């Protein structure tokens, strides 16, 4: 399944191997993950009903994310928060918060939460009942992809 625009609403999804979200610069983002995502950010896909379909976390893919994040940064949103899929619960297996990219002291990744309003990050790895799948930008002092003894 490929989602290429914002604010798509469906009753359910069935029999897909992958979920691919293609970001373009028309997708709005909250400027912080502390914002209420339903008020401040578009979503790409809204599922009305819980789905029994399970997805491998690696098969939930965001495309063009680096270009999208860079555009948001240029517009002053350094911690943008796009919602890829919201509301209904689905099972993601092989789950782990995923670092996609870093820019200066900011890290950008793919995460999930069990809260449909997007609060928190599911930290446990393995199986996750996701109600909000999103990309997330966070600010860290001296952010690098590889930790070193010199990184405070």
The 10s digit of each residue's pLDDT in 101-120 is 888 888 889 988 877 665 66
Retrieve residue 138's tokens. Answer: 């966070």
Instruction: Tell the burial category of 104 from Cβ atoms under 10 Å away from its Cβ (0-12, 13-18, 19+).
Output: exposed
pLDDT of residue 39: 47
User: In this structure, are strands 83-95 and 54-56 parallel, antiparallel, or unpaired?
Assistant: parallel
Spatial distance between the Cα atoms of 51 and 65, rounded to a whole number of angstroms: 26
> Over 104-129, what HEC string results?
CCEEEEEEEECCCCCCCCCCCCEEEE
The string of pLDDT tens digits covering residues 61-81 is: 999 999 998 888 888 888 887
Backbone angles phi, psi at 114, to 5 degrees: -85, -10
Provide the token pair at 9: 């609403």
The closest of 34, 32, 6, 95 to 59, measured between CA atoms, is 95
Helix (H) or strand (E) holding 83: strand 83-95
pLDDT of residue 149: 55
The share of the chain scoring above pLDDT 70, in percent, equals 78
Question: Which tens digit of pLDDT belongs to each residue from 7-59?
Answer: 889 998 888 999 999 998 888 776 544 444 444 467 888 888 887 788 999 99
pLDDT score recorded for residue 35: 47
Report the predicted TM-score, pTM, of the whole model to 2 decimal places.
Answer: 0.81
- For residue 95, what are the CA distances in angstroms to 9, 26, 112, 150? 24, 28, 9, 30
pLDDT for residue 119: 60
């Amino acid at each position: 399944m490929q989602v290429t625009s914002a604010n798509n609403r469906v009753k359910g999804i069935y029999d897909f191997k992958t979920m691919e979200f293609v970001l373009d610069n028309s997708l709005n983002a909250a400027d912080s993950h502390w914002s209420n995502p339903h008020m401040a950010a578009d979503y790409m896909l809204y599922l009305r009903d819980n789905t029994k379909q399970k997805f491998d976390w690696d098969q939930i893919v965001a495309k063009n994310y680096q270009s999208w994040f860079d555009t948001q940064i240029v517009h002053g949103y350094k911690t943008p928060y796009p919602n890829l899929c919201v509301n209904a619960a689905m099972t993601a297996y092989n789950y782990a918060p995923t670092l996609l990219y870093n820019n200066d002291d900011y890290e950008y990744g793919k995460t999930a939460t069990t809260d449909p309003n997007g609060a928190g990050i599911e930290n446990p790895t393995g199986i996750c009942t996701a109600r909000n799948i999103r990309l997330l930008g966070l600010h860290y002092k001296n952010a690098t992809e590889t930790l070193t003894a010199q990184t405070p």
